Amino acid sequence: MSKNDSDIDQQNEEYSASKLDVVADLHDKTGSSTPTTTEPGKLPASPAGEAIDSRYIDEHIGQLPEIDAARVVRLHNEIMANEYKIDSRQVAKKLIELESALDG
């Protein structure tokens, strides 16, 4: 396995872990004290005895952006090798666009 493959595997593991963090965070925000029986659309109870609404979780997981792990690794390597070039004009243009959109 090459160094890039190893880096991509690590990025994928971190991405999967971040999805699990989102699920845990969503459960913390939406969990309620309910019976531990499984209802349609609900997952079995959590260790805390609260039913988990799988539709709510699936909906929010689906809203997470896709991450191109190969691109992340490539950019990381360029930055670490001091080869990543920042286009200051493009950054300025995007900042102006953002400010214009916020001013609405």
Task: State how far the Cα of 18 lies from the Cα of 66, in Å rounded to an integer.
Answer: 12
Per-residue pLDDT at 34 exceeds 60:
no
Closest CA to 57 of 88, 103, 92, 22: 22
Q: What is the mean pLDDT of residues 19-32?
A: 55
Percent of the chain predicted with pLDDT > 70: 52
Tokens for 52, please give them: 């988990």
Predicted local confidence at residue 37, as pLDDT? 47
The answer to whether 30 and 43 have CB atoms below 8 angstroms apart is: no
Q: Tell whether the model's pLDDT for residue 50 goes beyond 60.
A: yes
Question: Between the CA of residue 89 and those of 92, 93, 95, 96, what are the distances in Å?
Answer: 5, 6, 10, 11
pTM: 0.36
How far apart CA 73 and CA 92 sit, in angstroms, is 25
**% residues pLDDT > 90 (the chain):** 34
